[in-house]
Structure 1
């Protein structure tokens, strides 16, 4: 299977976006991009010092991710991006309208536990509360799926691939039926 859509694997820090995103990209045969690579140095410095980013900090980061996604339109790709607020997802969709979101979800306590064992990452556990405060789950009019991450990452990625495949097949049959009238 090779996905036609660009998938944004979203959720709070420590939820497994990078791990699941890379596995999903491999499973559906498309390139993977790590959202952290799109952050300007100033953002990384700010988060490393325990200060949450504001919307102004996030704008150029979201625009860079959106540009990457737009460049993959019709060819597929997977990118990890917290995309916590609806406004952030809207900004990404403005750049790349066909995005499919995979919202990774879990109890705060599980993610806090994971973050205490995380090494070599600039996002401190202290910012987790701000992430959960900002989190706006996918809404009914947003293309995507929410997946609980208590299962193994391989299982989560397989579930995401199945949801993407079902979405693409449904969209394809809708296009076919509209085209045959």
Structure 2
């Protein structure tokens, strides 16, 4: 694949990284998706350490995207819709700090856009409860083990994929069909 120098990075946590990874892979303009960990205080954490809550990291997906094809704002719209940004350290049955809703911004434009959207969504009353999504500057990303990469595509028949991830992918298809590959 040719390297596109106009690519930008974005990093999101929306519960289990398998979920946000599956959703972001389907968007036009997203060239690369990698599941991993970010937002914590330990270098090179292993999955086992993260899920035990010892690292401060969130499970995230980091993407490379072409802003000429899809804007950061469009990606954020998807992010807000495919998880519950009002539950602290939890998404459904997945509980723990590593499942928190988080946006790790790579530049001031991303930070301003994320904070503005969060404020507007909170003011709109779309959600019954206040948005608890953490927005903070990106510092480091640590890729998860290979077994976690593109998990949904490789394991669609597993119960977690059928009951937790597939409804998010279906919602994406329903609400954002114009943004899909």
TM-score w.r.t. the length of structure 2 is: 0.37
More strand by share: 2
Bigger CA radius of gyration: 1
- What is the TM-score with the length of structure 1 in the denominator? 0.37
